[in-house]
Amino acid sequence: MEKTYIVIAAYNEENNITKVICSLKKEGYHNIIVVDDGSKDQTSKVAKSAGAITLKHIINRGQGAALQTGMSYALLNNADYIVHFDADGQHNPKEIKYMLDPIIKKEVDATLGSRFLKKQKIPFFRKLMLKGGILAILIFYRIKLSDAHNGFRALSNSAAKKIVIKSDRMEHASEIVEQINSKKIKYKEIPVTIKYTKETLKNGRKGQGSFDSIKILSKMVLKKVGV
């Protein structure tokens, strides 16, 4: 039986995490890793009692760092497939199978979720920022993606071994794309739905507000010039 691990980076998500874990279990995914990234609330306890494998960062290190911790753990446990999934319930667990399908069929080694390949309502300001991100990825890495900053990804074991997230904070999304490109990992974009609720929009502001976008962009520039 092939092992699929779902990796969720969570920061102060005690209100959402149980629902997310239960919905994943309902779809038949039982290897769920929740990396509690130094939450101030009871995220890790709640996740554990919901039945997830819980890894706790003793201090907050950022989403990139948390995802890498989850991936390292999954690889140590011989995961065949690793799925990155959001903690706030904006992704649909039913779509994991579409993300994994091309990898299981060995067509590609990585799939990236794209909200723009599916017709859906996206708040205007969010759309503007995401399009900016797509443009930045195109300029810096010469990769044309339809949605560059989607947290819904699936990787094969070999792809997960090749990708090492070094960016601790939010710029990991760009870094993963960059590594997929530089390490010549075959990838495909898969249409996914993103549920925008008050909660998910608030969370988005936590990491990808306009000020954070500038910070991410400046880090990308610094990295490009070798700093």
User: Exposed, middle or buried by CB within 10 Å (0-12, 13-18, 19+), for 191?
Assistant: middle
* Residue 21 or 192 having the CB closest to another protein: 21
Out of 31, 57, 208, 213, point to the residue binding another protein (CB under 8 A). 57
Q: For residue 225, state whether it binds another protein (rule: CB under 8 A).
A: no
What would the two tokens of residue 20 be? 């997310």
* Residue 33 or 134 having the CB closest to another protein: 33
Out of 21, 55, 108, 129, point to the residue binding another protein (CB under 8 A). 55
Q: Which stretch binds another protein (CB under 8 A): 17-25, 52-60, 82-90, 185-193?
A: 52-60
Out of 1, 40, 59, 198, point to the residue binding another protein (CB under 8 A). 59
Minimum distance from residue 76 beta carbon to another protein (Å): 7
Q: For residue 73, state whether it binds another protein (rule: CB under 8 A).
A: yes
The Cα–Cα gap between 44 and 52 comes to: 9
- Sign of the Cα torsion 81, 63, 37, 39 reads negative
The Cα–Cα gap between 68 and 130 comes to: 23
Contact 93, 23 (CB under 8 A): yes
Q: For residue 84, state whether it binds another protein (rule: CB under 8 A).
A: no
The Cα–Cα gap between 128 and 126 comes to: 5
Out of 3, 45, 56, 188, point to the residue binding another protein (CB under 8 A). 56
Q: For residue 161, state whether it binds another protein (rule: CB under 8 A).
A: no
Site string for another protein, 2-41 (x = CB under 8 A): ---------------------------------x--x---
Strands of the sheet containing 187-191, edge to edge, are: 53-57, 31-37, 4-10, 81-86, 153-156, 110-114, 187-191
Minimum distance from residue 36 beta carbon to another protein (Å): 9
Provide the residue type at 98 as one letter. Answer: Y
Minimum distance from residue 178 beta carbon to another protein (Å): 17
SS3 content of the chain, % helix, strand, coil (to 5): 45, 15, 35
Minimum distance from residue 129 beta carbon to another protein (Å): 25
Q: Which of 159, 151, 20 is nearest to 80 (CA)?
A: 159
Contacts with another protein by CB under 8 A lie at 35, 38, 53-59, 61, 65, 68-69, 72-73, 76, 166, 168, 227
